[in-house]
Chain A
Amino acid sequence: MSSDADADAAPPAGKAAAGSTGDPVLAVDGLRKRYDDTVALDGVDLAVADGEFVAVVGPSGCGKSTLLRVLSGLEPQFAGRVAVDGTDVRDGGSDDVGMVFQEPRLLDWADVRENVAVGLPAGVDPDAPAARERVDELIETVGLDGFAESRPDQLSGGMAQRVSLARGLAYDPSVLLLDEPFSALDRLTKADQQDHLLDVWEERGTTVVLVTHDVEEAVYLADRVVVLGGQPGSVEAVVDVDIDRPRERADPDLVELRRDVTDALGR
């Protein structure tokens, strides 16, 4: 209903939101998710094209995290259709999906290297030299070189979150879901990690769905910003970000788009 109007009202081009090229990697149709008596999500439609970077923003409690949990296969009870590469997430479609949780969720008894290795795809021997090299590379990517042998309790919250990010990257999934992965980081580290994520995304051609409450982050990173809202949550607006990369954070067009997203959130 009104969501179409919002999508059209988005300044650049104002095209229809659905993935424009080929079959979407991620297809969500009429998703409805209920916890006992509470309906968390209702009538969510979303199509993410291969290699696309989508950010999902919305006020807290609108079901952003729930959406990611459904996409990752952690919530098999829902109505509607959710498929990855055409396979329902309940029939193994979620195997191609990796997720970085909002909390670091590290194994306290294992060091950083071992924690990152948890993300290595099934069948990869974590002790093989190639796997070890890859893990060390990822540890360096997230700026934790020198901490490979540290235990989680020796790391700060932001460092732990970066370990969890490295673990997600190690999985090298076709769809990477990120639930506010940068929220615990200070400003500078956050900017660094956002750029690292963009590098990995470009290099690997991963499809990314990033949940965030940070509008600036959403607009800077994503091809498309999906605004979730309401109770139960549904897609309120979709804002396309047609700005070439690398982007300038202070680009006036970006600032303009930020205002559009904020307006869509504010209703």
Chain B
Amino acid sequence: MATDARTEPRTIGPVAVPSADRFRPLLGLAVPAALVVGWHVVVATGVIPAYQLPTPLRVAETLYGMAASGELWDHVAITVQRVFLGAGLGIAVGTALGTVTGLSRTASDLLDPLFQSLKNIPSLAWVPLFLLWFGIGETAKVLLIAVGAFFPVYLNLSTGIAAVDEELLEVAEVYDLGRVESLRRVVFPAALPSLLVGIRGGVGLAWMFVVAAELIAASQGIGFLLSDGRTLARPDIIVGSILLFAFLGNCSDVAVREVRDRVVGR
């Protein structure tokens, strides 16, 4: 089953010899590490001036300083909170509408063309409208992020439900499972992998949209740090913020993948 790969090496022999394969994931770190070294050399030797690109050490120092003073945590906390609320809202609405359009042909004919065209609007285009409607408070940002997270969830789930194997639906019909039971026991489990693909994409887009929201209208958050760094001509803050986004985005992706492997795991 799902744990086979992990349990197998244990049964190979009494002496646990760490096989070379265990270090394979570390290979993925080799290239980034080389890049950091290269980055340091390029800046230290003056090929790129330090006011445009700080050394890696300088970035680390800046982040450490902000972390020590507590300032960094406020920014990280508010950004994570926005992503969490926005993605949660987008996923909830996307799940609801994706289910309705996946199940009902009429609902799909009514709503799907609209969503298909709305999904092509670039994230930044929504910002002025949302600011106008909801002001510069949290509501505008959370809703903007929700819009980003909504589309992948909606699109994947709607297609996933509509694509459930006809043969299995016939089984549900022959055995008189009824509407509710056939949804619970056949349709939803069959569409679950599609939903999880959608959620993974939705969380990814939530990070994109939080940057859009914070760059333009925020006084806190990692996106605000980015634009603040530019105003203050502090490339170390800019690069540090980018790295923070990379780190947090990766963490959320790993978390979603972990959930997926547990739920779908076979």
5 pairs, CB–CB < 8 Å, chain A vs chain B: A73-B173, A107-B186, A109-B266, A110-B185, A122-B178
Q: Which residues in chain A, 118-171, are within 8 Å of chain B measured between CB atoms? A: 118-119, 121-122, 151, 153, 167, 171
The number of residue pairs between A and B whose CB atoms lie closer than 8 Å in the complex comes to 49
Q: Is A91 part of the contact surface with B, judged by Cβ < 8 Å?
A: no
With known contacts A105-B168, A153-B266, A98–B178 Cβ distance under 8 A: no
Does A6 interact with chain B (Cβ within 8 Å)?
no
Asked if A85 is at the interface (CB within 8 A of a chain B CB), the reply is no
Closest 4 CB pairs of A and B: A99-B174, A109-B189, A122-B176, A105-B171
Q: At the interface, is chain B mostly helix, strand, loop or mixed? A: helix
The chain A residue with its CB closest to the CB of B181 is A122
Interface size on A, residues (CB 8 A): 23
In the complex, are the beta carbons of B186 and A98 less than 8 A apart?
A: no
Q: Does A79 interact with chain B (Cβ within 8 Å)? A: no
- Known contacts A74-B174, A98-B175, A171-B175; A151/B266 CB under 8 A: yes
- A95 adjacent to B266 (CB under 8 Å): no
Supplied contacts A119-B175, A167-B175, 19 more A-B pairs, CB within 8 Å: A72-B174, A73-B173, A74-B170, A74-B174, A94-B174, A101-B167, A101-B170, A101-B171, A105-B168, A107-B185, A107-B190, A109-B189, A109-B192, A118-B172, A118-B185, A121-B176, A122-B177, A122-B181, A171-B175
- CB-defined contacts of B185 to chain A, threshold 8 Å: 107, 110, 118
Task: Give the complex CA separation of A36 and B52 in angstroms.
Answer: 71
Q: Which residues of B lie under 8 Å from residue A109 when comparing CB positions?
A: 189-190, 192, 264, 266
Is B171's CB under 8 angstroms from A118's CB?
yes
Measured CB to CB, the residues of B under 8 A from A are: 1, 167-168, 170-178, 181, 185-186, 189-190, 192, 264, 266
Q: Does A103 contact B (CB under 8 A)?
A: yes
A211 within 8 A of B: no
B175 near A105: Cβ-Cβ < 8 Å: no
Give, as a whole number of angstroms, the nearest-CB distance from A125 to chain B: 11
Measured CB to CB, the closest approach of chain B to A74, in angstroms, equals: 6
